[in-house]
């Protein structure tokens, strides 16, 4: 089993959804990001490392601000890879890179895939690469032993959902709401229906994780009760880092998210 598959299986055995957590490379600076990322990874099941990019079309204001600050500090793909390498040295949990296609192409697909693998990365999320355009990057990543995670949304029709479930590797990233990323007070009404449709499409083929707007333990619990085998939390974590939260406080927040669906917690 891959590390991603093991993480989802372990969470399922514990009666909870797998927690996929996101941090931005270089935030709050290039010295502290590793310490905060370790705190998050200690409690999460899977870690996404965001690579700062100037046109993050899928991201809301919190992650966009983080990317802008990181770029101003000179943070690029090299630092994200170095961060993954440092985290891999102390953890066997899955690590993903969340980036856009432009930085990957600028680096070269084969070079990027090779360097990501050497850094201990398990998979890559490319939110601006649709299924129809994903064959080339998927082939390069697969040759290096890396997963390409596909994305679905509330607008995805059933036949496309099924195609995405067959094409994705590791898990299917299911966007819970229309729009961009960002912490929300409550989950959108379409979330439960999107989870139902994802479960129908994925079946026992591949797990899925629901993101965009998940920011509170009660959100995790609601999605778990709806049938989601995984959840993704990004803006809520990045926002806490933006406000200067300590590693211990950040770890406690992620721990509360992870344990939200465990009976008795």
As a whole number, mean pLDDT of residues 9-32 equals 96
pLDDT for 263 beyond 60: no
As a whole number, mean pLDDT of residues 229-235 equals 95
At 29, phi and psi to the nearest 5?
-160, 175
More reliable by pLDDT, 181 or 64: 64
Q: Mind listing the pLDDT tens digit for each residue in 37-82? A: 999 999 999 999 999 999 988 888 999 999 999 999 999 999 999 9
Give me the active site residues, please. 48, 59
Tokens 């089993």 identify what position?
1
How many percent of the chain have pLDDT more than 70?
Answer: 94
Contact residues for 203 (Cβ-Cβ < 8 A; gap 6+):
165
- Domains, the chain, with CATH or none: 3-256 (3.20.20.70)
Pairing type for strands 147-149 and 151-152 reads: unpaired
> Quick one: pLDDT at residue 182?
44
d(CA 103, CA 234): 21
Residue 176 carries which DSSP code? -
Contact residues for 165 (Cβ-Cβ < 8 A; gap 6+):
172, 201, 202, 203, 205, 206, 208
d(CA 6, CA 170): 10
Contact residues for 61 (Cβ-Cβ < 8 A; gap 6+):
182
Contact 208, 172 (CB under 8 A): yes
As a whole number, mean pLDDT of residues 8-36 equals 97
* Residue 212: band (very low, low, confident or very high) from pLDDT cuts 50, 70, 90: confident
First vs last Cα of the chain: how many Å apart? 29
């Amino acid at each position: 089993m891959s590390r991603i598959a093991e993480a989802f299986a372990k969470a399922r055995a514990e009666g909870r959804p797998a927690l996929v957590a996101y941090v931005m490379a270089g935030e709050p600076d290039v010295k502290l990001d590793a310490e905060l990322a370790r705190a998050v990874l200690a409690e999460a099941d899977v870690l996404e490392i965001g690579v700062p990019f100037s046109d993050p079309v899928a991201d809301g204001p919190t992650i966009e601000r983080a990317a802008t600050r990181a770029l101003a500090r000179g943070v690029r793909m090299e630092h994200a890879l170095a961060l993954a390498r440092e985290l891999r040295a102390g953890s066997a949990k899955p690590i993903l890179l969340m980036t856009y296609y432009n930085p990957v192409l600028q680096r070269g697909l084969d070079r990027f895939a090779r360097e990501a693998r050497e850094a201990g990365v398990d998979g890559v999320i490319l939110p601006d690469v649709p299924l129809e355009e994903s064959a080339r990057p998927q082939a390069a990543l697969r040759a290096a032993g890396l997963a390409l995670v596909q994305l679905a949304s509330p607008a995805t029709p059933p036949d496309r959902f099924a195609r995405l479930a067959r094409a994705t590797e590791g898990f299917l990233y299911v966007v819970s709401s229309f729009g961009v990323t960002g912490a929300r007070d409550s989950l959108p009404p379409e979330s439960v229906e999107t989870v139902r449709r994802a479960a129908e499409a994925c079946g026992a083929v591949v797990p899925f994780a629901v993101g965009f707007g998940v920011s509170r333990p009660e959100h995790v619990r609601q999605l778990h009760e709806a049938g989601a085998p995984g959840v993704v939390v990004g803006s809520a974590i990045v926002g806490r880092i933006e406000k200067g939260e300590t590693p211990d406080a950040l770890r406690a927040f992620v721990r509360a998210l992870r344990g939200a669906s465990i009976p008795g917690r």
